Chains A and B, each alone.
Chain A
Amino acid sequence: MADRSDKKIHANPTKDFFVKMITRDIDLEDCIFDLLDNAVDGARRNVHTLAGSDKPLMGFEASITFSKDRFEIVDNCGGIRLSDAIDYAFHFGRRPDSPADVEGGIGLYGIGMKRAIFKIGQSAKVTSEATNDACFTVSVDVAAWEAKNDDDWDFEYEDCVSSKAYGTAIEISTLNPGIDTRFGDPTFLNDLIKLIARDYAFFIDKGFVVNVCGNRVPSFQYWLRSNAALEPAFEEYEDDGVKVRIVAGLVDDLPDDIPEELSPEKVDRFGWYVVCNDRVVLAADKTDRTVWGEDGFKVWHPQYNGFAGFVFFHADDQRLLPWTTTKREVDGSSPLYRRALAKMKLITSDFSAYTNRRKGNLEAAREAERGVTQIDVYHVEKPQALKLPTLTQATAKIEYVNIIYKRSLPEIAEIRDHLGNRTMSYKEIGVYTFDYFMKMELGK
């Protein structure tokens, strides 16, 4: 029976909420990235020893291994001080009296490690050792911890023998249903490597090493095209203590025609990227999380294939950045983000207008877009609007017609076979054979 004498409504959290509910709001990959973020922050905390180098994170690495039975991440990024572990690191949510974190870090909310453990498995061992500090192991038995009294949220730790490997190792076993299946799927490994390459590109570029099941994650370069008629847009400004950089331009050939269908890997570089303190939060976004269809702005269309834009937010205090706890979403209501969106829309409008303009003189457009050099998006420094080819309208406006006809599947298969191109669409085959006729019979 509720006690009504004190006139209070109880609002205490439950362990079940942390174990079973908030773990549903985040993908497995992003949980693993939360653990990786902690390693990157650890490396940045220790980076002063290598200040001035263009590879300041050189020597720091994190290794992830998993199978159907277990998951482990081991890093050499400095470890957790025992006093910090006791008072802060395992606390649910960041305590107001927490010591100041690394400047420009990517860990923020004091939830990532615990949420990752709860998402992945039922049993975990966190072993850590910081320089000139104790080595300790925290063992987490999720079911036993949940079964304890509701007021008892503590985990127990044990001292362990120093290995002088200053870093943290998190081992998770008794995997949750569904997680074992994902870890046993070979495509999960291949995709995870690609995602880390994409989302941690700017850390890997600075020398940080990530290994996944023995495979070193390759460095991934974000380039934009440039030539005499074509240069990326670049804008840089400070807003409420956050440094904002916007870079956008062409990353691939623009389509002359709209394809019937496109598989994800053919378009996975196009769209807007949102990067917070060097961590990619949104990649190749084509939704209203960035500009597309946002507040009446035009929606993404395959006509825009070939475009990529990057907005970098950088702040010493990561709480100022417009990201959410999963670091896979942006806070759409953040005024800072909305102001950046307005600038991103202007650039996107310039680009989309060009894609319409170029239809009037495709040949000249193709010529002007040819012969490009690649510019690293991180190193664009000259503020300028998006420079696109100036096209004069073709003198005689050409009218176009659709040609529709049927041919048998074996004949189509024979053409694909002959061209060695097994992924050609029917439309592409039609265009190819028509162009072939124009060239061979009419010399055009």
Chain B
Amino acid sequence: MTGPSFERIDYQLRYNKHIERKLVFDVLSRAQQLIGIQGHRYLGFGSMWFSDFRLAHRVLGLHEMASMEREKHAARAEFNRPYRSIEVKSGFSTDTLRNFNAKDWSRPLIAWLDYDGCLESYVVKDLEILLSNCASSSVVIVTLNAARGSYRPKVPSTAPRARINTALGQVESLLGGGVVPPRFEPTVTAGGMHGDVNQLDFPEFMAEALLSFMSHKLAASGRQVEIVHGAETQSRPLCFVPLFNFCHKDGVDMVTIGGAITAGEGEDLWRNKVGGDIKRTEDGLFPRHQRLDIAPLTLKEKLTLDACLPHSGEDEFIQQAKNSGLQLQDQELSKYWLYHQYFPVYFETPL
């Protein structure tokens, strides 16, 4: 069995992850400006690097933060925490969340559960606990392995697959029957055997299944908040506004999805103001799935690309980059044009 991911990876040197983190915090800083989330508490898996915690403090000005860490590694995490206001909570995440008291839940959270593994029943439990307890205006984000191969039970190569033995069936079994969007429904043969979501589309399927699960859990919870309008107080149901839907390759495909828990007019605020720039699916339910896997660039390539910026049009940028002698695919140039503002500057060091 491989060790924890922090022993294999320096979390600050993965630039697709870096871009993803900046995209997430870009949305959160818009929320900071429009809604004011400086009083929120940050909750995550800081590991030994606390990269997201540093951003939460620097970009959002959050002070109160808690990092969940397995007992075995908690002391080292405690040593590495960059701010004294970060509380390292030792133990299994599900147990830690179960032990939160009413005071812990009374304050809205920015919770980013950045798992380095697969969707498992304890992950589902963690999400259920968060969605059943988080205060209105909280944001819940989750990152998970979304490589189809990690969810395909081994069956003899010639054996046809029943639904439960497909990667789709495994995710469905963990999240519940209604999470499979119609366009991913597999074809069923006359023998009752199932196809599967293809490998390339699997992260998108999984992201949408997770967002559906989170939306459903909140809708079905019956949770309400009291909203004061002048002299009148109204009960409004809490709902989930999906804001994040990314995939990047980090050895394997990883998806990051999430959104805000809100009610009443807050829904419009989060969906159309905070998330106003987010491109949505045709039905408007989810952010459009974004793949962030930019191929590694040399310093020379990056500087040449930067010299072509700023450019208002994608096509013109690609043309100018090609004219500069860059030997990169259009697709890669397009991604750089889209995400260059979030590209990491590695001269930074976490002091």
Contact = CB atoms under 8 A, between A and B. Distances in A.
Interface stretch (A41-49, A127-135, A177-185): A177-185
A13 interface: no
B219 A213 contact: no
Nearest to B181: A190
Contact of B154 (A186, A191, A266, A419): A419
B120 A422 contact: yes
Contacts of B188: 221
Contacts of B154: 419-421
Given A422-B151, A423-B170, A264 B177 contact: yes
B262 to A, nearest CB: 12
A265 B173 contact: yes
Contacts of B179: 186-187, 190
B261 interface: no
A73 B344 CA distance: 50
B339 to A, nearest CB: 27
Given A420-B149, A421-B154, A266 B215 contact: no
B216 A420 contact: no
A218 B185 contact: yes
B245 interface: no
Interface residues of B, number: 46
B216 A186 contact: yes
Interface in B127-180: 149-154, 163-165, 170, 172-174, 176-180
B350 interface: no
A107 to B, nearest CB: 27
Interface in B71-129: 118-121
Interface in A173-212: 177-178, 181-182, 184-191, 193-194
B208 to A, nearest CB: 8
B182 A215 contact: yes
B178 A190 contact: yes
Contact of A423 (B173, B183, B211, B219): B173
A186 B120 contact: no
A213 B151 CA distance: 30
Contacts of B165: 421
B283 interface: yes
B220 interface: yes
B192 A186 contact: no
B106 to A, nearest CB: 24
Given A266-B164, A420-B151, A188 B120 contact: no
Contacts of A193: 182
A199 B328 CA distance: 53
30 contacts: A67-B284, A177-B237, A181-B237, A185-B220, A186-B212, A187-B176, A187-B177, A187-B179, A187-B212, A187-B216, A188-B219, A190-B182, A193-B182, A194-B178, A215-B182, A221-B190, A251-B192, A263-B176, A263-B177, A264-B177, A265-B163, A266-B173, A410-B1, A414-B1, A419-B154, A420-B149, A421-B154, A421-B165, A423-B164, A424-B153
Interface of A: 67, 177-178, 181-182, 184-191, 193-194, 213-215, 218, 221, 223, 251-252, 263-266, 268, 374, 410, 413-414, 416-417, 419-424
Interface of B: 1, 118-121, 149-154, 163-165, 170, 172-174, 176-183, 185, 188, 190-192, 208, 211-213, 215-216, 219-220, 237, 239, 282-286
